[in-house]
Amino acid sequence: MDRHISRDKVQNIIRYVVILNGCTVPYESPFQRQAEDAYALLQNSRLTEADGAAVVFYDDDAEKDKLVALSPLPAVKLVKVRGYQPEMILKILEKLHADDPRVLYFFPGDAAGSELSVRLAWRTGGCSLTGVRRLQAADSGISAVRYVYASQMEGTFTVPYPVPDAPLVFSAARGEGEGLPVYSAFDRVLDEQDFSNFPRSCKNPEAGMFTPVSTPKTLEKARFVVAAGQGAGSKSAVSAIEKSAEIMGAALGVSRRAAMQAWAPMERLIGASGASLRADLCLAVGVSGAAAFLSGIEKCGFIAAVNTDPKAPIVSCADVTVIDDYQPVLEALLEIMMKRVSSHD
Amino acid sequence: MKILVCFKVVPDLDAMRQEDWVAEDLAVDVSFLPREWNSFDESALETALRLADASGGHQLSAVSIGGSLLNPFFKTLAALKFDEVFRIELDGDLRFSPGRIAALLAAFIRREQFDVVLCGRQSGVGDNAQTPLILTEMLGLPCITQAAEVHPAPENSLRVISRVEGGLLEQRIRPPCILTIGDTQSTYLRIPTLKDRMQYGKRPVTVIDARELEQDSDADSDAGYHAGLSSPRAQPRLVKLEPVDNRRAGVVIDTGTPQEKARLLYERYLQERLS
């Protein structure tokens, strides 16, 4: 496929826009993950790449090349701002929409993308859906498919399309994407606009200190994860599981109930609002298999569980489950693995 | 400061068994499940109580939409010394109607004039993740999303710590404002004492007819959104509902000592995947 398309042609045929946040202030946004989630939605919806453009907000000129390279569409528009601030970005998006209205907008599935999509739809008289996995053509418009009922059911929603002056604004499902296309065309930037002097809204909260926390990346990229749930029973038990996991070469993740009890940092949370694992192996201990948790491990290559209850939901959703207390089983596993390592030495 | 928490009571979907996930007439029967606070809303209620603990002189209120089944939850809030509890009377399918819910709440908030509105960021069943954001737009208020902690700050403002992608962001905001509560640890709602249950738990719930609020909303030309019923906006319509099949092989190892089970698990399933 020839990905090199002329600037004039692209300007005329753009039917949809993907909005991405490449700002580094107040925090370093995981741009690649945004791009991957948006790209997965476009791919699953079979939208032609040449019909769309990526609009990338950024605040640091040194990042421009990297952001263009990671953009999920061949055509890119760059918009310079003074850091990510939702109220200001929304004002700029309203202006861009007024100047050059589109009927279809896409946002990534992170919290910022979800917020912007809902608020932009409201401001532009359109309608929005969050967490969309794919779009398909429907008799009276477009169908959007997303998870509902704590990711245990898939709902299909129809929306009329196209409706003049009522754009459809979708944010992608989180953690769906993996990998981005590589475009050979080097002249991908269609347009650059500088809004760095855009007036600050009086509605902006006053930003203060930012404390980076870096664990989610390690959890989502880990090849082997030990997941602890409420069955662990205490903070000290989760700490012991973490130590065993470290020795096994695994990362620790926890269920929502375990995270809410502060048995592990919130950054270790697996599931609908936490990390979406892609590990080759997930060992779930003391996890009953709450609906929201299962959606966070469904993409793992192999799921093994240890649980006392043979009727727990995790049993049917795992490849294999040991029915027993997790502690003696985990201890025995650790012993076997350590013996193997020492025999190899 | 007048503080309002908008909350929802939801079925405990974790109590569903795999075979219970069946759709009929575009719905799943969850009527037999126990009801619980929506987890993000529970955090919002506890956050409001902590804010009141940290600085005096606040008036705490809570509101939810639904029928009389909500009353036990309101009793708990009254026992926790929420000054006023409101129930917007409306039965019906609101699973995928965040615009209508936001319009009702907006009309209610305009009527009662609150300084700070706390909402959980999303709730189960519909998982729309839209209501507090549409509410923000309808009321035209400043908003901080993903709040994890809210503290009093000088000059009648609030210091809010949000859990954003990559870290924790501290911001200062001046009421009136909306705060949406995201993932936040150790915010299970406290349990009222028996004494407080006896003393405060019988405080009546103020019931408001949803139609009154919808009339307010219709009359309010600034709202720009007419309670969802006569809305000019296109609304997504649910047309299909199917279970997500995430079942796997489901092999069970249930005989032998823990050591024997661990050995079988390792040798037959884990060894090749760990090499």
* Contact status of B21 with chain A (Cβ, < 8 Å): yes
Q: Which of B183, B241, B248 sits opposite A155 (nearest CB)?
A: B241
**Helix (DSSP H) and strand (DSSP E) numbers for chain A:** 11, 15
Q: For the domain made up of A7-194, give the CATH fold.
A: Rossmann fold (3.40.50)
Q: Which of A27, A320, A329 sits opposite B164 (nearest CB)?
A: A27
**Set of chain B residues whose Cβ sits within 8 Å of the Cβ of A203:** 141-142
Give the domain ranges of chain A: 7-194, 215-344
Q: Is B71 helix (H, G, I), strand (E, B) or coil?
A: helix
B237/A159 Cβ within 8 A: yes
Task: Dump pLDDT digits (tens) for B116-139.
Answer: 999 999 998 999 999 999 999 999
The CA distance from A245 to A238, in Å, is 10
Start-to-end CA distance of chain B, whole Å, equals: 60
For residue B229, give both structure tokens: 């019923």
Start-to-end CA distance of chain A, whole Å, equals: 51
The answer to whether the bond into A101 is cis (omega within 30° of 0) is: no
Distance from CA of B202 to the nearest CA of A (A): 30
B144/A111 Cβ within 8 A: no
Residues B4, B5, B9, B15, Cα dihedral to 10°: -170
For residue B3, give both structure tokens: 């503080």
Taking a C-beta distance cutoff of 8 angstroms, is the pair A136, B240 a contact? no
Chain A contacts in chain B segment 34-53 (CB below 8 A): 39
The CA distance from A107 to A21, in Å, is 9
* Contact status of B22 with chain A (Cβ, < 8 Å): no
Query: What angle is formed at CA A222 by the lines to CA B248 and CA A67, rounded to 5 degrees?
Result: 115
B238/A156 Cβ within 8 A: yes
Q: For the domain made up of A215-344, give the CATH fold.
A: Rossmann fold (3.40.50)
A-B contacts (CB, under 8 Å): 276
Task: Dump pLDDT digits (tens) for B235-274.
Answer: 899 999 999 988 999 999 999 999 999 999 999 999 999 8
CA A279 to chain centre: 16
Instruction: Give the range among A176-185, A264-273, B72-81, B218-227 with minimum mean pLDDT.
Output: B218-227
Label residue B164 by pLDDT band (50, 70, 90).
confident
* Contact status of B10 with chain A (Cβ, < 8 Å): no
Q: What is the mean pLDDT of each run of 10 residues along chain A (345 residues)?
A: 46 80 75 93 90 94 93 95 91 94 93 95 94 90 94 93 87 89 83 91 72 68 94 96 95 94 92 89 95 91 97 94 97 93 71
Residues A338, A341, A342, A345, Cα dihedral to 10°: -170
The predicted structure's pLDDT at residue A160:
86
Q: Is A2 helix (H, G, I), strand (E, B) or coil?
A: coil
The CA distance from A283 to A36, in Å, is 26
Q: Is B3 helix (H, G, I), strand (E, B) or coil?
A: strand
The CA distance from B85 to B64, in Å, is 9
Same fold, A7-194 and A215-344: yes
Q: Which of B134, B137, B145 sits opposite A111 (nearest CB)?
A: B145
Distance from CA of A329 to the nearest CA of B (A): 5
A129/B185 Cβ within 8 A: no
A118/B130 Cβ within 8 A: yes
Q: Which of B130, B148, B247 sits opposite A130 (nearest CB)?
A: B130
Q: Which residue of A has its CA nearest to B169?
A: A210
Signed CA dihedral, B217, B219, B221, B222: sign only: negative
Task: Dump pLDDT digits (tens) for A306-329.
Answer: 999 999 999 999 999 999 999 999
Amino acid present at A90: L
For residue B13, give both structure tokens: 């979907």
Label residue B221 by pLDDT band (50, 70, 90).
very low
The CA distance from A295 to A288, in Å, is 13
For residue A133, give both structure tokens: 């996995």
Taking a C-beta distance cutoff of 8 angstroms, is the pair A39, A72 a contact? yes
**Set of chain B residues whose Cβ sits within 8 Å of the Cβ of A110:** 165
SS3 content of chain A, % helix, strand, coil (to 5): 35, 30, 35
Q: Which of A30, A206, A331 sits opposite B165 (nearest CB)?
A: A30
Mutate to test the interface with B, among A320, A324, A341 (most CBs of B within 10 A): A320
H/E stretch holding B202 reads none
The ipTM is 0.93
Pairing between strand A141-148 and A153-160?
antiparallel
**Set of chain A residues whose Cβ sits within 8 Å of the Cβ of B262:** 322, 328-330, 332-333, 336
B134/A111 Cβ within 8 A: no
The CA distance from A17 to A97, in Å, is 10
Give the domain ranges of chain B: 2-219
Rg of the Cα trace of chain B? 22
The CA distance from A106 to A42, in Å, is 9
The CA distance from A129 to B237, in Å, is 11
Pairing between strand B157-164 and B23-24?
unpaired
Task: Dump pLDDT digits (tens) for B182-212.
Answer: 988 888 999 999 999 999 999 999 999 999 9
User: May I ask the CATH class of domain B2-219?
Assistant: alpha beta
Query: CA nearest A127: which of B238, B218, B130, B121?
Result: B130
* Contact status of B234 with chain A (Cβ, < 8 Å): yes
Task: Dump pLDDT digits (tens) for B6-33.
Answer: 999 999 998 888 889 999 999 999 999 9
B234/A266 Cβ within 8 A: no
